Structure 1
Amino acid sequence: MKFTDRCPATWKELQDYVALFLNQSGYRAVSPCTIDTVRGKVEVDVLVESPDELVKRIVCECKFWNSSVPKEKVHAFRTVVQDSGASLGLLISQAGFQSGAIEAANLSNVRLMTWNEFTDIIADKWTLTRLKQLKKESVPLSEYTSSLHFPFDNLKDEDVGRYLKACDKYRPLRTTCWEITRKDLKENDSLTDFWYKGSEFTTIESYLNFLSDQVTAGLKEFGEILANSNIIIPPERLEKSYGYIYMSL
């Protein structure tokens, strides 16, 4: 399954999508952003703060041009990256780069890439980060749908039927969120019905976003049932499950 089907149609979409994917991959990206350099203030398309110990700051420049980027633009961008103290510069071009631009970036801390190359590079980290979030978000569903753990006898009569319907609806979702891995997502051209409504999706991004939305809806539904029946699930019951959520990544 491919990572995404997003294709920027404007310069703003290009830099917004770059910032979005970086933020969702665990970085802190701001677009646009005015930064200080040794030559004064400069506005960059995307400024990225990285949790990595070695690469702390990344500057991104996005070119939504009809023609390939020339070497002069690479030289100018290299200066901004160097003068800002950034560890890495990403120059992302919709139309590619001239041969001189590629030579100008060689042996520097500037990387040149097309939109497709950027999504290929970010796909694995994005998928890993989103899977971790999804598995953590779905922890309460394990308690709510468990016949062994849920205090079924404490439900009000009016909530019993609603609760059972919610369990039937969200148990397959809970199973998918806990068991699906990056390998499952990447190696299947299309996800089968073994995964919760997986056959309806063609990209990893759209499917994981859908699962996250479904988890939110499920937690809301169970939350309303719990509140109506005055049931409180002790937080420590959920905390015991957190240690197992990353076993399948």
Structure 2
Amino acid sequence: MTIERPEWQKYQHEVAEMLSKLGFITKVEEEVPGVRAVHDIDVTARITSAGIAQLWVVECKKWKRAVPKERVLAFSAIVADVGADRGLMFAENGFQAGAIRAARNTNLTLTSLVDFRQNTADEVAAMKVRGLQERITALENKFGSIWDLTQEERDKRIAQYIGPSGFLNLPPGHSAVMSPLLARLSQMKEALNFAKFERWPVTYWALDDDSPITVNAWPGLIYVTEETVATCERIYDQMVSPRGQVKDWRELQSQEMTELLTKIRQPKEE
């Protein structure tokens, strides 16, 4: 005999699955401690943007009637008590007018599965893009600050640079040895800006290749950009505080990214 989940529980898992597809780490029916109490949350969704962890808490109402104002106010108190960055309330049969008014100008979103799919995927992508742009700008500033050091310290940092430079044929220690990496950072920002204005496909440049890769949608662009930015951050950290015997920046790139690029570059069979 097969025991099926009740409809309200199926609804929770459907919401969690949708958030997971957007890049969140989700849990169903998690206990979350607050300032005043421990709360049973239908779904928690966590994501990191620009190095800052965010927590979204979700309440799912698989009801046959519209959700009243009182339920929204109670949920708002929970969101505040656990310090969540955002609260989402899902209901497929809508919300009463008072409930909608109660959620205005707050960090609450009243929605349904269909509306959320249509409206929030772009919002999540935009949040990730803002975070990536901030990380790229921070990296550009870090590499630029090397030129504010004394000649001795600057030469030491440049000598420890292990990032890409081969396609400019520059020897280690050359003053322009970081130029290829800085060019890639600039190209990543440009690709993100093109995508923001729906100018698909966009061009992505890997760190070690002068042949561009075409990217057609947000998930792929965000993934390769996140991976490349993370590699550049590791290159900078290794340059400033060397750890271990890292000889090639490719050792700092994730295996998943290396495998993806290898697969993309493989010639297609006729």
TM-score by length of 1: 0.48
With CA pairs under 8 Å and 6+ residues apart, which has the higher RCO, 1 or 2? 1
